Amino acid sequence: MKKSAIFGLVVIAIAIAVIISVYSNSSTYGSFSDAQKTTSELHIVGHLNTTKKLYYDATRDANYFSFYMKDNKGEERKVVFTGTKPEDFERSEQLVLTGTMVGQEFHASKILMKCPSKYTQDKLEITEVKATQASI
């Protein structure tokens, strides 16, 4: 077999491996009902329910924050985030959560907040917060 043919096969194999790894790492967007049906992580887009209280008590557990969110389909669920409460969380116009359902609660591993900019009214400020890993 020619060296150029072997090189071509290796390049094709590497390209296929890269495509498969990128595809497997891509996550999907859904709703709370979609998250209830699957065990894999989903992105859920929604809005903070400001009529219900946020729970964060740094003196009891600094890595527990919970709130209620409505997804884009109107379904509301309690969200638990194992990390500190993000700064200016109440100001967020839209939330994108990454996580899984545990019972009737959504356990978020990341929170992406879209907040109005304090400097320009037309632009949005985006902040991402990741959950802390539990120490073993």
- For residue range 4-48, list pLDDT tens digits in order: 889 999 999 999 988 887 766 556 788 898 888 888 888 999 999
Per cent of the chain over pLDDT 90 is 37
Give the tens place of pLDDT for each residue, 86-116.
888 888 889 999 999 999 999 999 999 887 7
Measured CA to CA, the distance from residue 16 to residue 6 in angstroms comes to 15
The CATH architecture one would assign to domain 28-130 is Beta Barrel (2.40)
DSSP state of 76: E
Phi, psi of 129, deg, nearest 5: -125, 135
Q: How far is CA 117 from CA 48, 86, 88, 110, 114, in A?
A: 18, 16, 11, 21, 9
CB contact at 8 A, 78 and 105: yes
Give the tens place of pLDDT for each residue, 45-83.
999 998 999 999 888 988 999 999 999 899 999 999 998
Question: 87: which 2 tokens?
Answer: 């700064």
